[in-house]
Amino acid sequence: MRHFGHLGPSAEESLFELPPEEFHRDSGADFLAVALGATLYMPADRPTLPADITKQAAAGVTSVVVCLEDAIADEQVAAAEDNLVATLTEFADLGTPLPLLFVRVRDPQQIPSLVRRLGSAAGVVDGFVLPKFTATGGVEYLHAVDRADRVVGRMFYVMPVVESGAALYAETRVDELTRMRAVLHRDRERVLAVRIGATDLCSYFGLRRSPDVSIYDIKVVADLIADVVNVFGRVDGSGFAVSGPVWEYFTDVERLFKPQLRATPFHEHDVPELRGHLLSRALDGLIREVQLDRANGLTGKTTIHPSHVAVVNALSVVPWEEYRDAMDVLGAGRASGVMSSEKRNKMNEIRPHTAWARATADRARAFGVAREGVSFVDLLAAGMGR
């Protein structure tokens, strides 16, 4: 699969100086962690689940999580499992091209149970999302995935979710996160990304952010995000990818504050109606939060609506100028010091910017490099068919 492959050769030629690379489940955890981009969650009890996954894959979605946990009422879990098994068996029988596909389970025992029920169809599952992951309970989850590996004869990826009270509360946070990191390091090769469950975290204090408010404005959760990146997101070889939390809004919400999108870029790129579309669905808030995610060291984002996917992935494309800066830094080799950017508008300091430049090069492989003069507005308009 490949990001933006659904746009066709002509659109790709006009938008990208370097197009995104192809990837698949065997592309390696480090690259896949970057390439996940917008990961779309779907409840496992959807009657049209096979058609929905196929439709979204054709529309450019490259990673999907089918949820058996909070999205499913307790009394519907058995029916949701049946629906999931039937869907995945159908995909395996038909050889349907699929995005990276993960299952969010409720408890450790569900993992080997599902794999046994799926039989040979378990091959269409790339891994599992492990909710409410803790330093203590996480061990049982990882042992369950080990058992599933032995059933199918290959390794499943995992994405643990930080959303427990022990991780959130100030008096236990650092110890809990440090112990979680030690647990995950034992299975480092299978950990694709650490996810953050913002909705559950807000619930510990009875909070819910409005469409005018970023998760970074919710200080009790923002503090945890900073500590998760501090503990898990280091670039010294010991870290993991940390993904951005979900944005909950997608249509017809009352707004209190002014929009967060300037009109000028949309007029300059001749799509003023796109701005109105984004504002009507509170997607300006999502755009701002994705930018804050990257500024704070997060990679990709949990999404719950197809309209969010185009936004997250368009913002993941590396701008022409940013790529040039990264290549200049990496091209300096063992040299040190400071150089002016190609555009003569910023300082590129070789040693401090090298880790950033490597991350930018990885993102360029996964999402491509925009042509000079092509902006996020152009990429989003193409991705949303406008």
Q: Which residues are annotated as a binding site?
A: 200
Neighbours of 8 (CB within 10 A): 10
Torsion of CA 178, 100, 304, 128, to 10 degrees: -40
Specify the length of the chain in residues. Answer: 386
DSSP track, 78-113:
HHHHHHHHHHHHHHHHHT----EEEEE-SSTTHHHH
Say if CB 184 and CB 191 are below 8 A apart. Answer: yes
Contact 228, 177 (CB under 8 A): yes
If one counts every other C-beta atom within 10 angstroms of the C-beta of residue 126, the result is 21
CA distances from 72 to 45, 67, 194, 272, 319 (A): 7, 7, 22, 39, 39
Strands 369-370 and 16-18: antiparallel
Report the distance separating Cα 64 and Cα 163, nearest Å. Answer: 20
| CA gap 100, 65 in Å, rounded | 8
Q: Which residues of 268-278 are buried (b: 16+ CB within 10 A; e: fewer)?
A: ebebeebbebb
Asked if 131 and 96 touch (Cβ cutoff 8 Å), the reply is no
Closest CA to 190 of 132, 226, 225, 141: 141
| Spatial distance between the Cα atoms of 36 and 302, rounded to a whole number of angstroms | 10
The helix/strand/coil state of 292 is helix
| Those residues with Cβ within 8 angstroms of residue 100's Cβ, 6 or more apart along the chain or in another chain | 1, 25, 32, 36, 62, 63, 64, 126
- Binding site per annotation, positions for Mg(2+): 200
